[in-house]
């Protein structure tokens, strides 16, 4: 893998050959999200995006907490992600929602339910949603297109 060769070259150039194995073991693959602000309408339905309004199946309910809709944070189309851990599906859409009003940290079990991640296996059968009743336009995050690299 090219990343491994690049890492070995950096280790050599830095004079750290004596600890090359621990460095290689600590250097995990990851994805980089490169974002650019856009009008959400410019991002096709079902594509990766941060902010705007979510693309959900017709029958899916907008997630709520204590009767109030959660803010939409992002959606990730798994086919666009270059590297995935083995336990993630190869395709589909992950949609992330959060209680942006209270902004819980998630350490306290009492905060459970104030965020939600939805998985939609068929990312081609989605529709862009309008804001539900109870969610103010100020609760909507600005849209950014997403490109990935490893």
- The tens digit of pLDDT for each residue in 51-76 reads 999 999 999 999 999 999 999 999 99
Does the pLDDT at position 48 exceed 80?
Answer: yes
Does the pLDDT at position 85 exceed 90?
Answer: no
Please, what sign has the CA dihedral across residues 103, 107, 110, 112? positive
Strand positions, DSSP E, 13-136: 32-37, 49-50, 55-56, 64-65, 68-69, 71-77, 93-98, 115-120, 127-128
Does the pLDDT at position 93 exceed 70?
Answer: yes
The residues pairing with 65 across neighbouring beta strands, listed in sequence order, are: 68
With a CB cutoff of 8 Å and minimum separation 6, the contacts of 57 are 120, 122, 125, 126, 127
Lowest-pLDDT range, 27-41, 84-98, 103-117?
Answer: 27-41
- 31-149 classified as CATH 2.30.320.10: yes
What are the extents of the domains in the chain? 1-30, 31-149
Q: What letter does residue 115 receive in the DSSP assignment? A: E
Looking at the chain, the whole-number percentage of residues with pLDDT higher than 70 is 98
- The tens digit of pLDDT for each residue in 120-134 reads 998 778 999 999 998
Does the pLDDT at position 33 exceed 70?
Answer: yes
Cα–Cα dist 22/65, whole Å: 44
Average pLDDT of the residues of the chain: 89
């Amino acid at each position: 893998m090219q990343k491994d060769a690049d890492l070995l070259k950096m280790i050599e150039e830095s004079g750290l050959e004596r600890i090359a194995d621990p460095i290689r073991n600590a250097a995990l693959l990851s994805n980089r999200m490169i974002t650019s602000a856009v009008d959400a309408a410019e991002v096709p339905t079902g594509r990766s995006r941060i902010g705007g309004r979510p693309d959900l199946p017709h029958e899916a309910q907008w997630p709520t907490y204590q009767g109030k809709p959660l803010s939409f944070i992002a959606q990730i189309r798994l086919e666009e992600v270059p590297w995935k851990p083995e336990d993630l599906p190869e395709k589909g859409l992950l949609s992330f929602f959060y209680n942006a009003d209270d902004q819980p940290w998630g350490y306290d079990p009492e905060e459970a339910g104030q965020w939600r991640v939805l998985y939609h296996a068929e990312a081609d059968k989605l529709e862009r949603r309008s804001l539900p009743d109870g969610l103010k336009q100020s609760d909507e995050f600005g849209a950014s297109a997403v490109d990935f690299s490893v």
